[in-house]
Structure 1
Amino acid sequence: MRLALFEPDIPQNAGTMIRTAVCLGVPVDLIEPCGFVWGDRHFRRAGMDYLERAGITRHESWETFLAASRAAHRRLVLLTTKGTVRHIDFRFGPDDVLIVGRESAGAPEAVHAAADARLVVPMAAGERSLNVAVTAALVLGEALRQTGGFGGDA
C-alpha cells in the first residue's frame, strides 16, 4: 500500500498526510511540481519530526510516477469527488497506490484516465468535499483494515 500526493499545493495538508503515512507504515509518492517550497515552515510544522522518517519517493512529473507505478504492477486508485465507487464498497489490494489530487483543483483528466479505480467517500447530501488529508486518512485506514497492513506491515 502506498499514498501518492499529486502536485500538492497546501503545505499543511501535505505535511499532515505524510505524518499519517509514517504513523500507518505506508510509503509516500510525491508527484511534483509542488505548490510550495519543500522546506516551507507550514509543511515542516504539520509534518513535524515525522518527515525525517517518511519513506518518500519524489517524482518529477505525473509521467515519471505513472511509468514507475506501471513497471511495479501497482493498481492506481484515485480518491475523488467524481468517483464512481464508494471507498467502503471497494476491495483493496496490498499493492494499491491511493492517489489524492491537488487541494485547489483535484486531479486532471490524465490522472482520471490512468486510474484503475475512482473512489468517493460518502458524505451528507449537499456537501462539497472533505479536506484532502481527512479523505486520505479515512480511505487509507479502510484499505489497511482490509489488507491487514496496520502496524508498519505495508
Structure 2
Amino acid sequence: MIHVVLFEPENPGNVGNIMRTCAVLGVKLHMIRPFGFRLIDPQYKRAVMDYTQHVEWQDHADWETFRSTVPEGARLYAFTTKTDRVYTHVEYQDGDHLVFGPESRGLPEWIRTSIEPVTIPMPGQGRSLNLSVSVGIAAFEVLRQMNNNWK
C-alpha cells in the first residue's frame, strides 16, 4: 500500500479532496497535527463528502509519533519545490510514503533533509501547485508505475 502523509495541513477543502483521492486510489492517508482547521469545518465536510468511510487514515500527534509507525526500511519522499530531483525519476515500490507540507510554507528543512526530496516540475509561472493537485499527481504516478502503466 502507498501512503500519503500530510504534515500540518491547513486548508480543510484540500484535505477533503485529498481524502477523496486516497479513497478512490486505495492509498492510506496520514495526517500530522496540528491542523489549521477542525474536522467539523464545513469546507472539509463539503469536500470529503461521504468518503471518510472509504479511506484508511490515521491521525498523528506529531512527526515523531508518525515516524514511530513507519516500518523499518520504508522509504519516505518529501515533495518540495526546493530540489531538482524529479518525482518521476524514482522507481516507487509498495510501502512508500509521499510526504507533503502545509500549503503556506511547505515542509520544514529538517524534514526535507531527513528524507528523500523530490519535486513536481512546473515549467510555467507560479511558486507552487495546489496541495490536493500535487497529491493527485504524485499518487497517480506511483500507482501507474506499480501497475505497469495500467496494463
TM-score normalised to structure 2 length: 0.92
* Greater Cα offset, 34-43 or 117-126: 117-126
Correspondence for 1:138: 137
CA distance in 2 between partners of 1:27 and 1:133 (Å): 15
What is the 5 A alignment of 1:22-61? 22-61=23-62
Alignment partner of 1:139: what SS? helix
* Separation of aligned partners in 2, 1:33 and 1:150: 37
Shift of 1:74: 1.6
**9-18 or 50-59: bigger deviation:** 50-59
For the 8 Å contact 1:16–1:46, the answer to whether it is kept is: yes
Equivalences for 1:54-69 in 2 at 5 Å? 54-69=55-70
Give the aligned length: 149
TM-fit CA distance, 1:94: 1.1
Residue of structure 1 equivalent to 2:18: 17
User: Superposition pairs for residues 60-79 of structure 1, below 5 Å?
Assistant: 60-69=61-70, 71-79=71-79
Deviates more, 1:103-112 or 1:118-127: 118-127
Give the distance between the partners of 2:113 and 2:68, measured in 1 at CA.
Answer: 14
Which letter does structure 1 place at the counterpart of 2:46?
R
Please name the residue that 2:84 is paired with. Answer: 84
The two structures have a TM-score, normalised by structure 1, of 0.90
Listed as ranges, the gaps of 5+ residues in structure 2 are none
Q: What is the DSSP-based 3-state SS (H/G/I as helix, E as strand, rest coil) of the residue aligned with 2:4?
A: strand
Q: Which runs of 4+ in 1 moved over 6 A?
A: none
Aligned-partner Cα distance in 1 for 2:101–2:139: 15
Deviation for aligned residue 1:53 = 1.9
Residues 16 and 47, structure 1, Cα contact 8 Å, conserved in 2: yes
Letter in 2 for 1:133: S
Unmatched segments (≥5 aa) in structure 1:
none
Confirm or deny: 8 A CA contact 1:44 1:51 kept in the other structure. no
Match in the other structure for 2:110: 110
The offset of 1:72, in angstroms, is 4.5
Paired-residue identity, %: 34
The alpha-carbon distance between structure 1 residues 37 and 136, as it changes in their structure 2 partners (threshold 3 A), is same
Secondary structure, counterpart of 1:114 in structure 2: coil
* 1:38-60 superposed Cα distances (whole Å, 9 cap, x missing partner): 11110111111002222111110
Q: Deviations over 1:104-142 (max 9, x none)?
A: 111112211221x11111112543111111011001100
Q: 1:72 to 1:150 in 2, by over 3 A?
A: farther
Note the C-alpha offset of 1:149: 9.0
Which amino acid counterpart does residue 39 of structure 1 have in structure 2? I
